[in-house]
Amino acid sequence: MHRSGLTTEKAVWALCQLVKKAAIDNLSENDCRSIIEMLFIKYDVVFRKHYALAEGYVPAFYLPRTKLVLDIKADKSLSRDSIYRECERYCLSDDVSGLVMASGIQGLPSSIHGKPTGHHHLGNQPAHVGELVF
């Protein structure tokens, strides 16, 4: 349980809801990041941009209070395997309790290395948390 009183699973769900609210579908990666950053500021979310989890492992956003990572991969040519491997690297970090990925691939497993994950498909699809659709 985090200082906020949320479980990691609920924090992942809440972050997915916030990403869904951002309406970042079909935008460039930089535009997605800018919109998410403005939304975080609007809702007083404490975050760090480009926080280095380890050398070469730098997600778009890190939320230190919940230890969540939010990364965005808007390039539709990226494979599901390459995005999954990146998620695996993030989830290996002790600084990460959970992860949300916004990308053009369809879904992620509900957890990676025992850490809950969420996914937002950058298209006209609803956000996904594990097997749940909302």
d(CA 97, CA 117): 9
Weakly modelled stretches of the chain, pLDDT under 70: 1-5, 123-134
Task: Return the pLDDT at 25.
Answer: 73
Residue at 96 is within a domain? yes
Strand 98-103 and strand 68-73: the pairing is parallel
Residue at 118 is within a domain? yes
Is residue 102 within 8 A of residue 83, CB to CB? The reply is: no
Is residue 72 within 8 A of residue 36, CB to CB? The reply is: yes
Domain range holding 107? 8-133
CB atoms within 10 A of CB 62: 24
The pTM of this model reads 0.84
Domain count, the chain: 1
Q: Which residues contact 51 (CB under 8 A, 6 or more apart)?
A: 58, 59, 61, 62, 64
Residue at 1 is within a domain? no
Is residue 68 within 8 A of residue 83, CB to CB? The reply is: no
Residue from 58, 96, 104, 125 nearest 117 by CA: 96
Residue from 54, 37, 20, 47 nearest 123 by CA: 20
Residue at 3 is within a domain? no
Residue at 33 is within a domain? yes
Residue at 84 is within a domain? yes
Task: Return the pLDDT at 129.
Answer: 41
Residue at 2 is within a domain? no
